[in-house]
Amino acid sequence: MKKTSTRLADGRELIYYDERDDAVRDAVDRRPLGPVSTTSQIRRDRLLGDSVAIASHRQGRTYHPPADECPLCPSAEGRRSEIPDSSYDVVVFENRFPSLAGDAGRCEVVCFTSDHDASFADLTPEQAGLVLEAWTDRTAELSQLDSVEQVFCFENRGAEIGVTLGHPHGQIYAYPFVTPRTDLMLRSLAAFKETTGGRNLFDDLVAEESAGERVVLAGEHWVAFVPYAAHWPYEVHLYPRRRVPDLLALDEAARTEFPRIYLELLRRFDRIFGEGETSTPYIAAWHQAPFGTLEGHDGINRDDFALHLELFTIRRTSGKLKFLAGSESGMSVFINDVPPEAAAQRLREVASS
């Protein structure tokens, strides 16, 4: 992998990740851009104990542009985009409309490929491996920022999810706090360790699921399963078999096997609902251990946490979405219409050719 860092016209950082070591990236962003102006702030909810990002400047972000005006495609004659070069393998750059900025964190965009009409599932194993390297490198860099406590790499796919740019891309959020979902995991992890005399909750869960009926895919170094208490109609958790706290700690064997396992999962997701609906909307979310101190979680450290990816769709059946209505939105109690065992069976049935 070759990494080349440069700056856009407004001063934001842009990084090229290339498969070839001889790639030259010297294109200059010649757009007449003004400085980035953000209003991001973090407000603490004293009742719930969580944090909310207030970012009113995002109201003006780019919204469903036509394909020939996509800001994530390479620049071409007569059309300048966020990527100055005329081609790229993988690109990461600071979001012009970030949810988090300055002391409130950082937001980046990850472009998986220059092909506007592709999806992550269309990537080759080599391309997917390069994305993994980019995620890992950005995790390492962002974790060094003084304000950052947790790094979150994720992909939103599909208009139903709320995606406003059709080009295949994901995002990275560097939070200045430990997120509520991670905090809950840490609390469960600490309580389990105390009540079981030191056992690790992640290890127990992965061992139990790996031997059960909800396994979807199993490799030598990774295992994918529908969890016992899945929140979403089709939800798969992907774990490395050797517990590690973050992407940085994955060994070479796990890195090598990851593209094959993950691409197969994504292709199966696109087959769930039959031939008529082959672009399943989904969210793919990497869960990594926080990099700051684990305050309030006595008895555990970040090495107790288990890196994993959660992949889920909001579609519950062909043409119908799972809405977060009263119980889910009002009380955070999910009601799943698809039994996890049935979801796992369906995902095993639709093995890609």
If we measure between CA atoms, which residue out of 280, 294, 110, 300 comes closest to residue 191? 300
Contacts of the segment 72-75: beta carbons below 8 A, 24+ positions apart: 72/109, 72/111, 72/116, 72/165, 72/167, 72/169, 73/114, 73/116, 73/167, 74/114, 75/27
Place of tokens 């059946």: 317
Q: Tell me, yes or no, if 169 is annotated catalytic.
A: yes
**DSSP sequence for 272-336:** TT-TT-----EEEEEE---SS--TT-TT--GGGS--EEEEEESEEETTEE----IIIIIH-----
Biggest distance spanned by C-alpha atoms of the chain: 66
Catalytic residue, chosen from 64, 116, 169, 297, is 169
Side-chain half-sphere of 340: how many Cα atoms within 13 Å? 20
Strand 150-157 with 320-321, pairing: unpaired
Cα 110 to Cα 168: distance, rounded to the nearest angstrom: 9
* DSSP code string of 178-218: --HHHHHHHHHHHHHHHHTTS--HHHHHHHHHHTSTTEEEE
Residue 271 has what DSSP assignment? T
Catalytic (active-site) positions: 169
